Amino acid sequence: MYEIAVNKLAYEQTYFTQLPFTDNFAPFLGGPQLGSSKLMDAGNTTAQNAVKRNGTLWMVQTVRVTVSRTAILLWRISGGSAKTFLIEDPETVFAFPSLTVNRFGGALVAYSVYSGSAYPSASYSYIDPAGNLSSSAILKAGDAPYIVQRWGDYTTTLVDPADDTSFWTVQIYPLPFNTWATWWSYIPVTGFARGRAARH
């Protein structure tokens, strides 16, 4: 369970801080990878992305959950209350998240993942409008280890402007010979109820 502290600012604005995840914002060099003992850059705990949609503020950041592992913390703040979602796994380091929210209030979070059993990869999680968090899913598995520590923050996630429902995200993954590439992903969202047409 994660305790949320609520603090009042001037003009009756409210902000929230997640107490167990305080850090000194120093870069975390702790992302393991297959094929190399070199640890990947997992960024720091500053807020990476925020979106306000339908009166709700969403924010995402990397947080350190142990001395050797980070996770993704997602905030959904509405009115005077906040709900948090933690994307984590005991064998995986998560970092460099970006997010967006569609017109129904569903949120897509895309990020980098590091594991000693895989090359650095691009992944995502989805939170449906009811607040259910999906499991982490791979968008593009890495093709090789990457031995330069700097990594990951050249990413973005957007709602498809054609329907304001599905998502696009641009993430990075490593290629052989210590190079990297970008991977564009389209994530369709289906299953929303359609409004009934009124007959006059």
| pLDDT tens digits, 104-141 | 999 999 999 999 999 999 999 999 999 999 999 999 99
pLDDT in tens, 139-173: 999 999 998 877 877 789 999 999 999 999 999 99
The answer to whether the beta carbons of residues 152 and 42 sit under 8 Å apart is yes
Q: How many CB atoms lie within 10 A of CB 66?
A: 11
**The model scores a pTM over 0.85:** no
